[in-house]
Amino acid sequence: MRASRKVNVEYDPGAFPPFAVTVDIALFSVREGRLCVLLVDRGVEPFKGALALPGGFLKANESTDVAAHRELREETNVDALGYLEQLKTYSSPDRDPRMRVVSVAYFGLLADVATPLGGDDAAGAAFYPVERFVGRRAATLAFDHGVILQDALERVRSKLEYSALATSLLPHPFTIAELRGVYEAVWDVSLHPANFRRKVLSTSGLVVRAPGSRQSPRGGPAAELYTPGDADQLQPALLRP
């Protein structure tokens, strides 16, 4: 055992165990006021017929970042992809019943435009409200994807507080009310319209005024339009209630 490290650093090809590496992506989108996640129908065992996060095997000469983009492109169109970030790596030895698989999970954000789920492997891919898969009485997902989704959701909820990610979930330009709708959907809370507006506009670099205005869908005056600002981190943060 004492010599194990020395064996390792010499890279005897038989000195280390090989692993399969996959990427899995939790792609979020706000649709009709609800936070949804892209899931695919598994057509093969194990977990045949269950829902799973889109993903696939890492290729021999690509990074996981590249693999995540590639897998996502195979499920949906990548044009509208607003954001993609590595979440966490899952490596429990029994997470795949067939073999040893280490999965590098990502989370992504997509604006709710008319998104054609028309990739090569998009059969059975659709957006589902996340509420069905979190908390008690949650519907189960294949493998440990329920845990991954839970972790991704918490990461997104947290990042909305101190980063400008919320605008990645909206087509541009957008109104303050639409931006508020994103926060309300992700955090699953109801926010005070007047205070939210003041907070957003006083956070430098979050949004910038765009020309024109847009009618409210349910009455009221036309709303001013905005596009994302150049801020990455929010100062001060927009804290969850």
Rule CB under 7 A: say whether 8 interacts with DNA. no
Member of 31, 50, 56, 224 binding its own copies (CB under 8 A): 56
Nearer to its own copies, 120 or 230 (CB): 120
Q: What's the angle, vertex CA 167, arms to CA 177 and CA 103, rounded to 5? A: 130
Rule CB under 8 A: say whether 14 interacts with its own copies. yes
Nearer to its own copies, 20 or 208 (CB): 20
Rule CB under 8 A: say whether 8 interacts with its own copies. yes
Q: What letter does residue 100 receive in the DSSP assignment?
A: -
Q: Which residue has the tokens 């038989």?
A: 14
Tell me which residues in 18-37 interact with its own copies (CB under 8 A).
18-21
Tell me which residues in 201-240 interact with DNA (CB under 7 A).
201-202, 213, 215-216, 218-224, 236-239
| Closest by CA position to 205, among listed 164, 162, 165 | 164
Long-range contacts of 163-168 (CB under 8 A, 24+ apart): 163/232, 163/233, 163/234, 164/205, 164/206, 164/228, 164/229, 164/231, 164/232, 164/233, 164/234, 165/83, 165/109, 167/82, 167/206, 167/207, 167/227, 167/228, 168/82, 168/83, 168/109, 168/111, 168/228
Q: Which stretch binds its own copies (CB under 8 A): 3-11, 182-190, 204-212, 213-221?
A: 3-11
Member of 138, 177, 210, 231 binding DNA (CB under 7 A): 177
Member of 76, 115, 163, 175 binding DNA (CB under 7 A): 175
Member of 74, 131, 184, 224 binding its own copies (CB under 8 A): 74
Member of 13, 18, 93, 241 binding DNA (CB under 7 A): 241
Interface residue list for DNA (CB under 7 A):
175-177, 192-195, 197-199, 201-202, 213, 215-216, 218-224, 236-239, 241
